[in-house]
Structure 1
């Protein structure tokens, strides 16, 4: 029987275990979207994960969602990331960069211009800005001729990620951000080739992934998806058909993995597991929901055919999460007030388990 602590071959990478650190926004970047020495320490502390997936990294200025997030679209940003990837590798780890284009989930106060999206439909709720939460603005609908440029931005960021020392990239196709907006049936009201039918709604995702594979190779490319998720007000009709069609197209590209979130009923997710011929990373619990992934949820999904299991919040307060899971040690609780406050408190201040005599 497969366990969390068995090794796994992911492309050219030999993972020592099947525990993946999920991408989590921490808004600790310096001005200009630069990675910092604290970020290097944070990821290096967690390098015992089989694979680390970084926080979302914007591929362009217009792609930035939140203030304080890092980028991969300037030479300075590439240089700032190199000490981070070097620190992870020095501690024996492996790290992919998650490339995240926020699309409509942004604000002019953050990016200096009107956000873009597939249609002029605002996200639900407030978005983060330098001055605090503000109602989500109505985005500017992309012209048909503009869409390929935004798909290509993922590939450009992927090239920069490899230059910065990352082992690969994960496209953020989940949680209501740009790729997810194109997949949506209420955020995407387009009548051109990027909207309407299932084939139209998956086109942007396929073009973005294809461009990235052309740039850095399939073995260095993954994608995260949230089938049926409703983050930022997105809705999706015909979820099994939509994601079945998407996975069929992605299967032609020989990707490193698909990373699914538990945003649909288990029966739907199991069917998608069957439809995907490659490596599946499964995040077994609803992101930001009441429950955190534990050993039982991980074992359940390994039994259902997932090769790798991603853990989010468990890694925040437990840099030694792999060892705690292996030995059954208790998990330290996370201080939610420090999620996005900046600084090292609640970031670098969680210790490994302290054994007592």
Structure 2
């Protein structure tokens, strides 16, 4: 029987366990989207994970979603990430950068630019800005000729990531951000080759992944997906058919993995597991939902065919999560007030488990 603590061959890497640290937005970057020494410490503390996937990293300035997030679109940003990858590797870990283009989930106060998206349809909800939460603005609909440039932005960021010694990259195709917006039948009202039919709605995702694979190799490329999630108002129709078609297009590219979130019916996700010939990571919790991923859910999804299991919030307060799961030790609770508060409190201040004498 497969367990969380078995080794796993992922691309050209051997993971010591099947526990993945899921991407978690923590908004601790310095001015200019630079990684910091505190970020290096934070990820190094969690290097016992089989694989770390970083917080979302913008591949362009217009792709930045939240204030205080890091980038990978300048030489200076790439250089700043070297301290992070060095720290993780020194502690024996492996780390992928998650590349996240926010698309319409952005604000001019954050970037100085009007957000872009598949269509001029605003996201649902309020966004973080430098001056507090504000309604999502109407994005500028991308011209057909502009769309490939944004697909290629993931590839450009991936090159910077490899230059900074990341082991690979994960394209954020989930949770209502740009790739997810093109998949959506509510955010994407286009009538050109990027909208309408399933074939057209998956085109942007396929082009972004293909460009990234051509830039850094399939073994260094993964993608995260959230079928049917509807986050930020990006709802989808024909979910089983669309995601099956997307995986069929991605299968020949030799990706490191597909990373699925628990955002649709179990039978749909199991069907996608059967359809996907490569490595599959499952995060067994709805994003930001009331229930966190736990060992019971992890073992269930290993039994349903997942190869690796990602944990998000559990890693915030438990830098030694793998060992706590291995020894069945209690998990510490995280302080939600410090998730996006900046500074080291609630970031570097969670200790490893202390056994009583």
Offset, 1:294? 1.0
Structure 2 CA distance for aligned equivalents of residues 174 and 70 of structure 1: 18
Following superposition, the deviation at residue 113 of structure 1 comes to: 1.1
Corresponding residue number in structure 1 for 2:352: 352
SS state at 1:145 partner: coil
What SS class does the counterpart of residue 269 from structure 1 fall into?
helix
Provide the C-alpha distance between the structure 1 equivalents of 2:54 and 2:103, rounded to a whole number of angstroms.
19
Q: Deviations over 1:211-234 (max 9, x none)?
A: 000000000000000000111011
Residue matched to 1:10 = 10
Q: Displacement, 1:252?
A: 1.2
Cross-structure match for 2:50:
50
Give the equivalent residue in structure 1 for 2:196.
Answer: 196
Q: Report the Cα offset of residue 142 of structure 1.
A: 0.0
**Residues 255-334 of structure 1 aligned to structure 2 (within 5 Å):** 255-334=255-334
Distance in 2 between the 1:292 and 1:135 partners?
28
Separation in 2 of the partners of 1:288 and 1:346?
A: 18
CA distance in 1 between counterparts of 2:132 and 2:158 reads 30
Q: Tell me whether 1:176 sits opposite 2:176 in the alignment.
A: yes
Inter-partner Cα distance in structure 2 for 1:5 and 1:345: 30
* 2:213 equivalent to 1:213: yes
The answer to whether 1:141 aligns with 2:141 is yes
How far residue 319 of structure 1 moved from its aligned partner, in angstroms, is 0.1
TM-score (norm 2): 1.00
What's the counterpart of residue 20 of structure 1? 20
Matched pairs, number: 357
**CA distance in structure 2 between the partners assigned to 1:69 and 1:37 by the alignment:** 15
Deviations 1:225-265 (A, max 9, x none): 00001110111000000000000000010100000000001
Determine the C-alpha separation between the residues in 2 that align with 1:338 and 1:120. 34
Q: Which residue of 2 aligns with 1:233?
A: 233
Secondary structure in structure 2 of the residue aligned to 1:316: helix
CA offsets 1:86-110 (integer angstroms, 9 cap, x no match) = 0000000000000000000000011
Taking the aligned partners of 2:113 and 2:98, their CA distance within structure 1 comes to: 23
Instruction: Give the secondary structure class of the aligned counterpart of 1:144.
Output: coil
Q: State the shift of 1:352 in Å.
A: 0.1
In the other structure, the counterpart of 1:108 is: 108
CA distance in 1, matches of 2:281, 2:331: 22
- Corresponding residue for residue 154 of structure 2: 154
Q: Distance in 1 between matches of 2:113 and 2:51?
A: 35
How far apart are the structure 2 equivalents of 1:182 and 1:57? 19
Aligned-partner SS, 2:146: helix
Structure 2 Cα separation of the partners of residues 113 and 284 of structure 1: 36
Q: Which ranges in structure 1 are unaligned for 5 or more consecutive residues?
A: none
Q: What's the C-alpha RMSD, in Å, of the aligned pairs?
A: 0.4
TM-score with structure 1 setting the length: 1.00
Q: Which residue of 2 aligns with 1:250?
A: 250
Residue 222 of structure 1 aligns to a residue in which SS? strand
Point out 4+ residue stretches in structure 1 off by more than 6 angstroms: none
The aligned residue for residue 124 of structure 1 is 124
d(CA) in 2 for partners of 1:295, 1:65: 31
